[in-house]
Amino acid sequence: MLRPVVALLSIIGVLLALAEAQTPNYCDSALCGSSTHIACNNNGAWASTCPTSPAPSAVTFDLAQRKQILKMHNVRRNRIASGLMAKYKPAKRMATMRWNPELAKLAALNVKQCKMNHDACHNTQTFKASGQNLAMYGYSGPQSGMTIPQLITASVNMWWGEQKDASMTIINKYPSNWSGPPIGHFTAMAQEENTHCGCAAAFYTESGMNNFLMACNYATTNWVGSPVYQRGVKGSGCKTGTNPNYPGLCRVAEVYDV
């Protein structure tokens, strides 16, 4: 009569071992080199820098909000890739962006600092050079005075709005020691190999002001001296064809070396 129990315990032991083996080791130096990963020895608690009264609150984006974030990225990527934006040439092989839960989980750790500070490293086994955009939106009155979709829209529009200060010179060769107006959020959104993103947000109150802090982690980042995207006939470099919903972007099956 003990055999079924022993067998069940053995199965549970195997499952636990498999789960442990699949849990990423974010303290592995191979992920970040000499930098410390945001998730290394991080139990997910709010940082000591966060206000305590009232307590901060995490925002885990639901399906509709995740779709909104992706659409806002892909619509804008499609426009620039199609050559429909003044100053910008079309892109020959720009990815369609998709959601990645692990990137979103790591973004949630960033916003729990209650500070608009980039973390030193949030790479994953899949995305070894992950990029990051942060946005802070402050407003007075009741927290419910703005909806999550409205705050997402405001945040992403702030990032993309930097396009007015960028140019094809920057797109063709990402600069080092850039001293002009901010362009990094826009160029992260326009990076051709950004196949995935994952985002999170938090609310906290400081000096009577509501603060909505949003972080998006991306598959990759821009490299100094390299193009943000390769210019050319839109979609002409897509090996799998173009996305029927976003004809300036490659299909989601397109593989990139990120």
- Other Cβ atoms less than 10 A from the Cβ of 90: the count is 19
Q: How far apart are CA 13 and CA 9, in angstroms?
A: 6
Is residue 172 in some structural domain?
yes
Is residue 249 in some structural domain?
yes
Cα angle vertex 223, ends 221, 224, to 5°?
145
Residue (of 105, 91, 93, 95) closest to 70 by Cα position: 95
Task: Give the chain's domain count.
Answer: 1
User: Above 60 in pLDDT, residue 203?
Assistant: yes
Q: Which domain holds residue 216?
A: 57-258
Is residue 210 in some structural domain?
yes
**Radius of gyration over alpha carbons of the chain, in Å?**
21
Confidence of residue 193 (pLDDT cuts 50, 70, 90): very high
Q: How far apart are CA 170 and CA 162, in angstroms?
A: 12
Residue 174 three-state SS: coil
Phi and psi angles of residue 113, each rounded to the nearest 5 degrees, phi first: -85, -15
Q: Per this entry, what is the length of the chain? A: 258
Q: What is the pLDDT of residues 212-230, one digit of tens each?
A: 999 999 999 999 999 999 9
Confidence of residue 186 (pLDDT cuts 50, 70, 90): very high
Are the CB atoms for 91 and 230 separated by under 8 Å?
Answer: yes
Q: How far apart are CA 168 and CA 129, in angstroms?
A: 23
CB proximity list for 145: less than 8 A, separation 6 or greater: 139, 210
Q: How far apart are CA 121 and CA 36, in angstroms?
A: 6
pLDDT at residue 23 in the model: 82
Global pTM reads: 0.91
Amino acid at 46: W
Is residue 138 in some structural domain?
yes
Are the CB atoms for 213 and 202 separated by under 8 Å?
Answer: yes
Is residue 209 in some structural domain?
yes
Integer distance in angstroms from the first to the last C-alpha of the chain?
A: 53
Higher pLDDT, 204 or 23: 204
User: Above 70 in pLDDT, residue 210?
Assistant: yes
Q: What is the DSSP string of 179-225?
A: -SS--HHHHHHH-TT--EEEEEEEEEEETTEEEEEEEEEES----TT
Taking residues 233-237, report their average pLDDT. Answer: 98
Tokens of 242: 């173009």
Q: HSE (CB half, 13 Å, CA atoms) of 210?
A: 16
Is residue 83 in some structural domain?
yes
Is residue 6 in some structural domain?
no
- The CATH number linked to 89 is 3.40.33.10
Helices of type H across the chain: 3-22, 29-32, 63-81, 101-111, 148-160, 168-172, 184-190
Is residue 27 in some structural domain?
no
